[in-house]
Amino acid sequence: MRNDGNSLFDRSNQPSDDLPLRLVGIGGSMGQGAQSRMVMEASLAMATDAGARTVLVDVRDLDFPIYNPDLRVEAYGPQLAWLLEEVRAADAILLCSPTYHGTVSGAVKNALDYLQFLGADQPPYLTGKAVGLMSVGGPTAVNTITALDHTTRSLNGNIAPTTVVIPNGSVDVAARRFIEPATRGRVEAMMTQVLELARVLAPLRRARVREV
């Protein structure tokens, strides 16, 4: 990956308060060895190389029941409390879903539904956070990006201009790499935008949180 001093992938490019950017990836699949998990791992590794602190939230590991708005956070156990705190602390979010029947998977959408618990925060939901959107699948995977876009906007997130559809077969899960250079290049472009946007927004968001 290029690092020519003008790229975002420069460890000196941090928010003005000198804290490292925090990036949380949410997605994956309930199936073991999913392409979508490997895609998130590889994308988060790019951010780690750039000096960001990253956390992977795999829906298989969460194994949440269907979101029930009548229950309190405590009813769901420590995994939900952990997820909410990681998202609260994040400067950027990466969302990646497999494509099931032409749209976002139920497990990923369910995890995002739990972010309703952030609605009373100040600022609420994903306000002031940069968000990158990715999907894995065939020709209808673009619909998954559209669904993630709608949800992210409803959660007040700031979406990076470049979104990424990972075609089936373009990932070598066993070797944990992108097979197609063009796919990797688009992921790098998106991650650059996500971190660049987060670098601009983070000081403003952190200052707002401190004022509350």
Residue 2 within a domain? no
CA distance 106 to 125: 20
Please state the φ and ψ torsions of residue 91, each to the nearest 5 degrees.
Answer: -95, -25
Q: In this predicted structure, what is the pLDDT of residue 203?
A: 87
Q: How many separate helices (H) and strands (E) can be counted in the chain? A: 6, 9
Q: In this predicted structure, what is the pLDDT of residue 12?
A: 45
Residue 145 within a domain? yes
Mind listing the pLDDT tens digit of every residue in the chain (212 residues)?
Answer: 333 333 444 544 455 566 899 999 999 888 877 788 999 999 999 999 999 999 999 999 999 999 999 999 999 999 999 999 999 999 999 999 999 999 999 999 999 999 999 999 999 999 999 999 999 999 999 999 999 999 999 999 999 999 999 988 788 877 778 888 999 999 999 999 999 999 999 888 777 776 66
CATH number of domain containing 149: 3.40.50.360
Q: In this predicted structure, what is the pLDDT of residue 4?
A: 37
Q: Could you tell me whether strands 130-137 and 158-159 are parallel, antiparallel, or unpaired per DSSP bridges?
A: parallel
pLDDT digits (tens, 9 = 90+) for 92-128: 999 999 999 999 999 999 999 999 999 999 999 999 9
3-state secondary structure (DSSP) of residue 54: strand
Residue 3 within a domain? no
Q: Which residues form the domain of 28?
A: 22-211
Residue 69 within a domain? yes
Q: In this predicted structure, what is the pLDDT of residue 17?
A: 60
Residue 39 within a domain? yes
Q: Which of 180, 147, 181, 141 has the alpha carbon at shortest distance from 164? A: 141
Give all strands (DSSP E) within 81-203, no chain letters. 92-100, 103-104, 130-137, 158-159, 164-167, 171-172, 177-178
Residue 150 within a domain? yes
pLDDT digits (tens, 9 = 90+) for 46-70: 999 999 999 999 999 999 999 999 9
Q: In this predicted structure, what is the pLDDT of residue 131?
A: 98
Residue 57 within a domain? yes
pTM: 0.89
CA distance 21 to 49: 12
Strand partners for 155: none
Q: In this predicted structure, what is the pLDDT of residue 204?
A: 83
Instruction: Report the domain count for the chain.
Output: 1
Residue 11 within a domain? no
